[in-house]
Every structure is written in C-alpha cells, then in structure tokens.
Amino acid sequence: MPDHDPTAPAVTAPADLRADCANCFGLCCVALTLTASADFAIDKDAGIPCPNLADDFRCGIHARLRTEGFTGCTVYDCFGAGQKVSQETYGGRDWRSAPDTARQMFQVFPVMRQLHELLRYLTEALTLPAAERLYADLRDVLATTEHLTRLPAGELADLDVSAHRDRVASLLLRAGELERATVRRRDTRSRRGADLIGASLKGADLRGAELRGAYLIAADLRGADLRRAELIGADFRDADLSDADLSGALFLTQAQVNAARGNAATKLPDSLTRPPHWAADRPGTA
C-alpha cells in the first residue's frame, strides 16, 4: 500500500465521519443486501432499491422504522461514506439520473464505508494520551487512508482494503493496549472475541477490559463500568446498558450504542448521542 502524498487534501473532519443522509443518494438502501430477520422485515438483494426508498432518496417510513420491522436500519452507520461517494466521488451525479453509474457506485460504497470506519478509529487513537509514541505512525496511516478515499471511482471499486485494514488494525491494537495499561483493574483477562451472549455482567468492573469483537448480544451490563474498555467490533445488540458507564470507552461507535438498550443514567463518550429509542425517563435498575 503506497504511503500518502504530503500534498494531499486535509484529513476528513470528525463531523464528516457522521452520516449525512440529506446529501446521500440512499446508498445504504440500495447497495446492501437485506435478509428477513429480527432486524429487517424483508429480503432484498444488493443493488435493488428498498421499497421504502422515496424518489428524493429519503426513507418513506423513517419515523416508523423500528415499529415496521426495520430495526437494523436504525442501527446502521456508514461513517459518512454515503455523502462522500455521492457528492465527491461522483460529483453529485445520482444513480437514478445517471444509471450508468449505478453498478459501480454500489460497489464503491461498501469500500468507502470501510475506509471511513478506519478514519473514525484512527482519529480517536490520536486523542489517546498513552498512545503518544504511536502518533507519527497513526498520522501517516490516517493520511494514507484519507488518500485512498479520494481515489477515482474505478480504482475504489477495485481496491482490496484487506491489507490496509491489517496495517491499521495492528496500530489500533497497540494504541488500545497502551491506553488500557493506564487503568488499574482487577480483571486483566482478555475477552477478545468472547461469547458473552446473554451474560450476566450487572455491575461488573470492566475498566480497561479487552472486549474487541466480543459477542455481548442481550448481555446484562446494567451499572457496569466500561471506562477505557476496548470495544472495537463488540456486538451490543439488545445489550442492557442502563446505568452503565461508557465514558472514555475506547473505539465505541454510534452504531454499537444504537444497537443496545440504555437509559438516562447511561454515561456515553462526548462524541456519541443517546439514541432516540432509549427511554430517557426510565429509572435506573442497577
């Protein structure tokens, strides 16, 4: 993977790593495959528009997605890839008015999403005080990632992201280890990729824990302390985070939070917002 060009454009701002549906051509509603399940009410092949997608690229049932059986749509986050592909890669030419762009655009979108997700993690890693010794390498790989997001559409469609992801993953792993090492914690066991589905972790001290890729589906995390826990890829679907403390949790994303349940007492990092479906007035139960 070539190193970045020092004359390349400035790195994407954190605000641009958040989905802006108003400037996207409904790419997640078309490019992705849907499988009928608890998350999606229908089957849909990649490249086929969701029947709920309106002519203006807005969702026709946006306010009713959860009640209509499309909970997965409320959880999904493109990390700003949708507007990047729509407005920059394709210069505002949408797949409906320019159908010759459709197939390639739908190939480019998931590649861009992966790159933007990496930008999100790298940006956070550069804020971790204990990872300062890695800042030069992190900045370099962040700039390289940014450069890749600005490749022409044809090159993006053919891009093999795997090797680049591996390079980024090794740096993020080291950054997380350095930051977690600053926490004096009682339990130092690695839970990377652990099966914690439905686990009873109420009130657990998980400060600085390694939960990278852990399956926490429907886990009881009420009142748990997850400060400085590393959470890349952790699956929080239907996990109960009521009264839990995730302030300062490492590499936690809005999509993970959206997939979980919580309450007004759940503490989140400043960069994330409390999902609308969380009951703001629900009393703590921890």
Beta bridge partners of 258: none
Is a pLDDT exceeding 80 seen at residue 283? no
What is the pTM for the complete model shown?
0.90
The rounded distance, in Å, linking the Cα atoms of 150 and 166 is 20
Model pLDDT for residues 55-76, shown as the tens digit of each residue: 999 999 998 998 999 999 999 9
Model pLDDT for residues 160-202, shown as the tens digit of each residue: 999 899 999 999 999 999 999 999 866 677 899 999 999 999 9
Q: Which amino acid is at 286?
A: A
Q: Are 188 and 207 contacting, i.e. CB atoms less than 8 angstroms apart? A: no
Q: Collapse the DSSP code of 257 into the 3-class scheme (helix H, G, I; strand E, B; otherwise coil) and give the result.
A: helix
Chosen CATH of 189-286 out of 3.30.420.10, 3.30.1330.40, 3.30.565.10, 2.160.20.80: 2.160.20.80
The rounded distance, in Å, linking the Cα atoms of 248 and 131 is 15
The rounded distance, in Å, linking the Cα atoms of 228 and 209 is 7
pLDDT score at 189 = 78
pLDDT over 70 percentage in the chain: 91
The domain locations on the chain are 14-179, 189-286
Is a pLDDT exceeding 80 seen at residue 153? yes
Q: Are 91 and 108 contacting, i.e. CB atoms less than 8 angstroms apart? A: no
pLDDT score at 186 = 61
Model pLDDT for residues 7-45, shown as the tens digit of each residue: 444 456 677 899 999 999 999 999 999 999 989 999 999
